[in-house]
Amino acid sequence: MSYFYIALTVALTVYGQVVIKWQVLNAGAFPESLVDKLWFLGKLLINPWVVSALLAALLAAIAWMAAMTRLDLSRGYPFMSLAFVLVLILSGIFFNEPITTPKVAGIILIVLGIVVGSQG
């Protein structure tokens, strides 16, 4: 069950990152003046999608706490790197961000690191 909680933590974390990027892109460029910056951020903080992303972060933290009741941190934490893998893939799909050869090589290293780091 601990690995389910880790998967839930990763999924909720990735959801939050993708949703926030999507909503920030919709909101436009970050303003220059302090008042405009505060207004910009205030509007984002009441945006229902951003609120859902913040709630996802809270739920991810709760799922992580549940996972840590059964697993060593050194065994469970490498799986959090899967968020990098998923964010890279989803940023390419949803935001047309480039998935370059160096990024793919990095992702392969991350996955190998997870495999090696999660052993014993």
Residues ≥6 apart with Cβ < 8 Å to 48: none
Taking the model in full, what pTM does it have? Answer: 0.90
Residue range 56-84, pLDDT digits in tens: 999 999 999 999 999 999 888 888 999 99
**Residue 120 confidence (pLDDT) above 70:** no
Contacts of 44 (CB under 8 A, 6+ apart): 23, 24, 27, 50
Q: How far apart are CA 115 and CA 79, in angstroms?
A: 9
Best CA proximity match to 23, nearest among 11, 1, 37, 40: 40
Q: Is 6 exposed, middle or buried (0-12, 13-18, 19+ CB in 10 A)?
A: buried
Domain coordinates in residue numbering, the chain: 2-117
